[in-house]
Amino acid sequence: MKTGVTGAHFEQRALEHLQRAGLKLVERNWRSRFGELDLVMRDGDTLVFVEVRYRHDPRFGGGAASIGAGKRGKLLRAAQGFLQAHPQLAVLPCRFDVVAFDGAVSAPACEWRRAAFETEP
């Protein structure tokens, strides 16, 4: 589980990776009573909700695999809250991406899963 400095470090790395790929930052660490969104970005006309994960030991499926049905439901509710708070963005198509880092903090593997899961929890 990412916490504190490690979480901020990998969120920054994910942000830089996505920006190099052409995505534009809309919001970072958006919080509400519905939950938290690590990164909200634009990929052209698509609004992208990005969950960033880090796992030192990928034996149990790694960071991307750690997002189960419960977490997907929380992300969906947080995204719905974000869209309610930003109605001008609610008209855009949306997707959920995951940027997962696995391995040693000094040299982790990075995997970007576009449209990592459907909007149904």
Q: What are 91-120's pLDDT values in tens digits?
A: 999 999 999 988 888 888 888 999 987 765
In the numeric block, which tokens belong to residue 49? 């909700």
Give ∠ CA 48-117-66 in degrees, rounded to 5. 105
Give ∠ CA 48-19-45 in degrees, rounded to 5. 40
Mean pLDDT of the chain: 87
pLDDT interval class at 58 (50, 70, 90): low
pTM metric for this prediction? 0.88
Q: Over range 61-73, report the average pLDDT.
A: 74
pLDDT interval class at 49 (50, 70, 90): very high
Q: Which CATH class is domain 4-113?
A: alpha beta
The C-alpha atoms of residue 120 and residue 100 are separated, in whole angstroms, by 21
> What is the domain partition of the chain in residue ranges?
4-113
In the numeric block, which tokens belong to residue 19? 């920006």
Measure Cα distances from 79 to 56, 92, 95, 105 in Å.
Answer: 27, 12, 10, 29
Measure Cα distances from 17 to 25, 78, 101, 117 in Å.
Answer: 12, 23, 12, 20
